[in-house]
Amino acid sequence: MTFHTSSDLVLVDVIALKKGLPDKGLKRDDFQIFDDGHPVSIKTFDSGAQFTTRPLALWFVVQCNMRGYEAKGSGLFTGQISRFQPALTYVEKQDGVAVAHWCDDGRSELDLLPTKNVDEVTTVVEQVLVPAPTRKTTIEPAS
């Protein structure tokens, strides 16, 4: 007699902050997992307090400098990216940071691939947010 069975292990990473720092006191009973609206039991749980969690990649995804963006979206951060620097000091050594952008016209780019050098983030994001040069259009009179 042969029995066939299958199993799926789905890892769900959660970062919970308390007063701006990781909350490492959470327990399995503090969470509920649902699949298509149905509760699923949590078979294993790691609070991360032993630093055995997987490395984290923190992505800064920015909308590029399309016309009129200065007053909304990512444009509001132009010249103020250094405000993120204090938060970046809490990035763990095994974690990485990266930057990508997209534009309303469909263009997109990976500006900084995941790196452990958190100091690069502010420089690269500022470069992405530099306003595009304005084009002057002239209309020549017909001869």
**In-domain check, residue 98:** yes
pLDDT in tens, 16-57: 777 777 777 888 898 998 888 999 888 888 766 555 566 788
How far is residue 119's CA from residue 31's CA, in Å, rounded to a whole number? 34
pLDDT in tens, 71-113: 666 777 777 788 888 888 888 888 899 999 888 778 889 999 9
**In-domain check, residue 22:** no
C-alpha closest to that of 61 among 17, 95, 14, 108: 108
**In-domain check, residue 100:** yes
**In-domain check, residue 61:** yes
**In-domain check, residue 115:** yes
**In-domain check, residue 113:** yes
> Structural domain tally of the chain?
1
pTM of the model: 0.54
The backbone region for 35, taken as left when phi is positive above 0, alpha when psi lies in -120 to 50, beta otherwise, is beta
Question: Range of 61's domain?
Answer: 57-129
